C-alpha cells in the first residue's frame, strides 16, 4: 500500500478517520493524502448535479483558509510520536465530495480511501444516502468507512461476507495484502447459500480455492441459513464473533440497477458500528 486518501471536513468524525488512516500508514509505510472539498461550490450553481468539477470557480480566500487548517491537521498528527514519520500531503477540491474523491484517487494512484461516516436513515437513506455510500459507488479503489464510535483501530478478527463466486477474488486478494501487515484471523461468512453450495463441504472447498489463490492465511467458514435481511445477518455475526472489521466486495451498482437491487455493502456501511472495508469487484491493482 503506497497512498491513502483521507477526505477531511475538519469535523471530529473526519479527524477520527484521519487517525485511523495514520495508524494504517504507520504500519504499511503508506503516504497520507489529506483532501478537503469545498462542497458549497457544488450548490452555488443551477443544475449542479450535472456539472463537472472543472466547472466550479476557485475561491482563493476559501482555499487559503482550508490550506491553513490542513497544515494544522498535519502539525497535530506529527506531534503524536507514533505518527511523526508518516508522510503527509494535502489537496483541495471544489464540488461534490464523491466526484472529487474519485478524481483524486485516479490521478494520484490511491490504494485506499479512509473516511468517517455518520450513515443515513429513513427517507434520507432511501432517497439521498450518505456521502460514504456515494463514494463507495464511484471510487476506483477500496474504501474503509470509519463510524463515529470507533476510537481505536486494532485488527484481531475480520469478517468477510462472500458469495464465493469468481468475482469475489479481488476482495480475497486485497485482504491477503492486509494480512501481511496486520495479524488477524479471517471468518468467511457464506450467507444465503446463493450459489447452491451444499452443507457437505462444498463451500469450504470453494473458500479454500479463493484463499489459496490470494495467499490468504487459514480463513474459517461460517454457514448461515436463508435470510431476507443480509445486512442484519452480517452485523449479527460480526457482533457474535467480536469482529473488528467487516470486509465486503461491492459491485458499485448505479442508476436503475442500484434503485432496484440496492447494495448490501452500502447498507452494512450505513448501519455498522465497526469499520467496513468495501472492495470494488473490478479492483485489480497490484
Give pLDDT tens digits for 11-51. 888 999 999 999 999 999 999 999 999 877 655 554 445 45
70 pLDDT exceeds 70? yes
172 plus 240 within the same structural domain = yes
H-run or E-run covering 105: helix 97-107
264 plus 128 within the same structural domain = no
Residue at 253 is within a domain: yes
Pick from 85, 112, 147: which residue ends a domain?
147
* Strand 276-280 relative to strand 185-190, pairing: unpaired
261 pLDDT exceeds 90? no
Give the span between the Cα atoms of 95 and 130, in whole angstroms: 16
Per the CB < 8 A criterion, the answer to whether 170 and 284 are in contact is yes
142 plus 30 within the same structural domain = yes
Pick from 126, 147, 168: which residue ends a domain?
147
12 plus 118 within the same structural domain = yes
Pick from 147, 170, 191: which residue ends a domain?
147
Which range is most confident: 113-127, 169-183, 198-212, 225-239? 169-183
Give the span between the Cα atoms of 144 and 19, in whole angstroms: 13
Distances in whole angstroms, Cα of residue 264 to Cα of each of 100, 188, 250: 24, 16, 8
Q: How confident is the model at residue 254 (pLDDT cuts 50, 70, 90)?
A: low
149 pLDDT exceeds 60? yes
Per the CB < 8 A criterion, the answer to whether 142 and 148 are in contact is no
Residue 268, SS3 per DSSP: helix
116 plus 248 within the same structural domain = no
Structure confidence at residue 41 (pLDDT): 65
Q: Burial, 8: exposed, middle or buried (Cβ in 10 Å; 0-12, 13-18, 19+)?
A: buried
252 plus 178 within the same structural domain = yes
Name which residue leads in pLDDT, 5 or 284.
5
Three-state helix/strand/coil letters over 42-101: HHCCCCHHHCCHHHCCCCHHHHHHHHHHHHHHHHHHHHCHHHCCCCEEEEEEECCHHHHH
8 plus 106 within the same structural domain = yes
119 plus 14 within the same structural domain = yes
Q: Burial, 277: exposed, middle or buried (Cβ in 10 Å; 0-12, 13-18, 19+)?
A: buried
Structure confidence at residue 95 (pLDDT): 87
Residue 2, SS3 per DSSP: coil
Structure confidence at residue 47 (pLDDT): 47
Domain range for 205? 157-280
142 plus 174 within the same structural domain = no
17 plus 82 within the same structural domain = yes
Residue at 77 is within a domain: yes
Residue at 11 is within a domain: yes
Q: How confident is the model at residue 253 (pLDDT cuts 50, 70, 90)?
A: low
The arithmetic mean of pLDDT across residues 121-148, rounded, is: 73
Count of Cβ atoms closer than 10 Å to residue 124 Cβ: 11
Residue at 68 is within a domain: yes
Structure confidence at residue 115 (pLDDT): 93
Give the span between the Cα atoms of 284 and 280, in whole angstroms: 9
Residue at 165 is within a domain: yes
136 plus 204 within the same structural domain = no
Q: How confident is the model at residue 126 (pLDDT cuts 50, 70, 90)?
A: very low
Q: How confident is the model at residue 143 (pLDDT cuts 50, 70, 90)?
A: very high
Tally of domains in the chain: 2
99 plus 25 within the same structural domain = yes
Q: How confident is the model at residue 214 (pLDDT cuts 50, 70, 90)?
A: very high
Amino acid at each position: 500500500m503506497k497512498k491513502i486518501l483521507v477526505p477531511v471536513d475538519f469535523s471530529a468524525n473526519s479527524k477520527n478517520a484521519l487517525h485511523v488512516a495514520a495508524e494504517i500508514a504507520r504500519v504499511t509505510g503508506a503516504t497520507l493524502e489529506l483532501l478537503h472539498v469545498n462542497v458549497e461550490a457544488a450548490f452555488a450553481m443551477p443544475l449542479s448535479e450535472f456539472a463537472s468539477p472543472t466547472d466550479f470557480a476557485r475561491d482563493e480566500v476559501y482555499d487559503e483558509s482550508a490550506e491553513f487548517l490542513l497544515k494544522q491537521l498535519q502539525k497535530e498528527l506529527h506531534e503524536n510520536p507514533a505518527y511523526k514519520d508518516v508522510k503527509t500531503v494535502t489537496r483541495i477540491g471544489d464540488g461534490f465530495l464523491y466526484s472529487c474523491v474519485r478524481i483524486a484517487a485516479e490521478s494520484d494512484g490511491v490504494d485506499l480511501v479512509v473516511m468517517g461516516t455518520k450513515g443515513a436513515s429513513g427517507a434520507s437513506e432511501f432517497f439521498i444516502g450518505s456521502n460514504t455510500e456515494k463514494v463507495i459507488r464511484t471510487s476506483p479503489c477500496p474504501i474503509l468507512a470509519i463510524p463515529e464510535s470507533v476510537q481505536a483501530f486494532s485488527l484481531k478478527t475480520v469478517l468477510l461476507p462472500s458469495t464465493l463466486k469468481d468475482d469475489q477474488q479481488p476482495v480475497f486478494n486485497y485482504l491477503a495484502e492486509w494480512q501481511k501487515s496486520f495479524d488477524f484471523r479471517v471468518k468467511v461468512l457464506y450467507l444465503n447459500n446463493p450459489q447452491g453450495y451444499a452443507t457437505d463441504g462444498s463451500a469450504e472447498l470453494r473458500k479454500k480455492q479463493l484463499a489459496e489463490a490470494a495467499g490468504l492465511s487459514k480463513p474459517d467458514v461460517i454457514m448461515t441459513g436463508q435470510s431476507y435481511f443480509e445486512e442484519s445477518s452480517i452485523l449479527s455475526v460480526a457482533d457474535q464473533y467480536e469482529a473488528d472489521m467487516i470486509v465486503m466486495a461491492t459491485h458499485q451498482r448505479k442508476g436503475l440497477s442500484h434503485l432496484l437491487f440496492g447494495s448490501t455493502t452500502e447498507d452494512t456501511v450505513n448501519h455498522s458500528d465497526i469499520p467496513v472495508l468495501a472492495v470494488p469487484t473490478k479492483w485489480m491493482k497490484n
